[in-house]
Amino acid sequence: MTSTPLSVGVDVGGSRIKAGLVDDHGRVVHATRHDTPHRTTAPKDVEDAVVAVVSELVAHPQARERGTAGVGIGAAGFVAADRGTVVFAPHLSWRDEPLREKLSGRLGLPVVVENDANAAAWAEHRFGAARGESHLVMVTLGTGIGGAMLVDGRLQRGRHGLAGEFGHMTVVPDGRACPCGQRGCWEQYASGTVLRRGALEVLAAGGPDAAALLGACGGDPEQLRGEDVTRLAGAGDRASTALVAEVGRWLGAGLAAVVAALDPGMLVVGGGGSEAGELLLAPARAELARRLPGRGYRPVPPVRAAELGVGAGLVGAADLARRPR
């Protein structure tokens, strides 16, 4: 029996570009990752990085043997309804960027562009934690917060393709400034960026709580990342555990607003921040239950970690590349 062609999935985040060859069962045959060019660089720099990653994968022996059906790009930003234009990416340099046109011309392959959280939600619906759930909300924690929803098993992109930007809900009026141009956005209180910010505050304060964090960054606070805090929390570091729990409480506060508006059957949390597991999700569930309007008279949806982990975005993007509409 002839094997079906593979597709390429690319998840372009504010910090990392993750990409892989994916079969029609959602299995990643081969994966790679690279740093994302800084948001102040030209759009072409990010496109060059994506082209390099895809070219590397298309040259892989399995891709040469089985063929490549297309390329799905999961972009961390507002993707227009045409599934080809990145309207605005707060953590990248794309502004009204005709990404599909530019990439398909350079790669010589069909390209579909999708919001990265939409791609991750689709993957979890098809292959992961939300199999069988028709009404789903997914939240992805990375540099910022992405969001997506499915109703009756269909992605809901909104009239202009911009639905699901839960990370830019205001949770603190006149709060912290956000790259989107507003203040007090949810992602300024619950994201990998927030973990790093909190850890830097601990380092600046000094004292015994700073020791493990200082060791994780080799003595250079500029090298500290949110994933370092997550790893230390998993190892039992007190300061890091407290930082993760605080992000979890803010996560739960935002989820309560999402549930009140959309009434999903399940909430899935993905992205790099979700690797903290129950250290993050337990306080999130407790805060969701505490803040949910009408609590005691309505179901509280389960909050689950994404089964596909940080690879959900690229798996979903690859699968959507097989579904041009």
pLDDT (tens digit, 9 = 90+) per residue, 45-75?
889 999 999 999 999 999 999 999 999 999 9
CB 279 within 8 A of CB 248: yes
Residue 324's pLDDT is 60
pLDDT in tens, 180-221: 899 999 999 999 899 999 999 999 998 889 999 999 998 899
261-291 pLDDT, tens per residue?
999 999 999 988 888 999 999 999 999 999 9
| Helix 43-58, helix 99-107: angle, nearest 10 | 40
> Taking all residues of the chain, what is their mean pLDDT, rounded to a whole number?
92
What tokens appear for 195 in the block?
Answer: 């973990």
Cα 26 to Cα 8, 82, 258, distances in angstroms: 11, 24, 28
pTM of the model: 0.87
Q: What's the burial of 276, exposed, middle or buried (CB within 10 Å: 0-12/13-18/19+)?
A: buried
pLDDT at 1: 43
For the four alpha carbons of 165, 166, 172 and 176, in that order, the dihedral sign comes to negative
Please tell me the distance from the alpha carbon of residue 79 to that of residue 286, in angstroms, as a whole number. Answer: 33
CATH 3.60.20.10 matches 133-306: no
**Contact assessment for residue 203 and residue 214, using Cβ atoms and an 8 Å cutoff:** yes
Alpha-carbon gap, residue 301 to 290, rounded angstroms: 13
Asked if the domains at 6-122+311-321 and 133-306 fall in one CATH topology, the answer is yes
pLDDT band at 93 (very low <50, low <70, confident <90, very high): confident
**Angle, helix 226-234 to helix 192-205, in steps of 10 degrees:** 80
Domain extents for the chain? 6-122+311-321, 133-306
> In angstroms, rounded to a whole number, what is the distance separating the alpha carbons of residues 224 and 214?
8
Distance CA 255, CA 304 (A): 12
Give the separation between CA 134 and CA 292, rounded to whole angstroms. 21
Radius of gyration, alpha carbons of the chain: 19
Indicate the pLDDT class of residue 37, thresholds 50, 70 and 90: confident
Reported as a single tens digit per residue, the pLDDT across 5-26 is 999 999 998 778 999 999 999 9
Q: What is the mean predicted confidence (pLDDT) over 102-118?
A: 93
DSSP state of 220: -
Q: How far apart are CA 163 and CA 172, in angstroms?
A: 21
Q: Is residue 28 classed as helix, strand or coil in its secondary structure?
A: strand
Kindly state the tokens that stand for 273: 């921040």
Residue type at 32? T
If one compares 233 and 42, the residue with the highest pLDDT of the two is 233
Give the residue among 278, 226, 291, 279 at the shortest CA–CA distance from 252.
291
Distance of CA 295 to the CA centre of its chain: 29
Protein fold of 6-122+311-321:
Nucleotidyltransferase; domain 5 (3.30.420)
pLDDT band at 43 (very low <50, low <70, confident <90, very high): confident
Token couple for 57: 């994968």
pLDDT of residue 325: 58
Q: How far apart are CA 133 and CA 52, in angstroms?
A: 36
Rounded alpha-carbon distances, angstroms, from residue 32 to 29, 60, 173: 11, 11, 40
User: Tokens for 65?
Assistant: 């043997």
Residue 319 is given by DSSP the state H
What does the alpha-carbon distance between residue 100 and residue 102 come to, in Å, rounded to a whole number? 6
| Token code pair at residue 166 | 């839960």
pLDDT in tens, 129-160: 999 899 999 999 988 898 999 999 999 999 98
Of 240, 221, 223, nearest in space to 280 by CA: 240
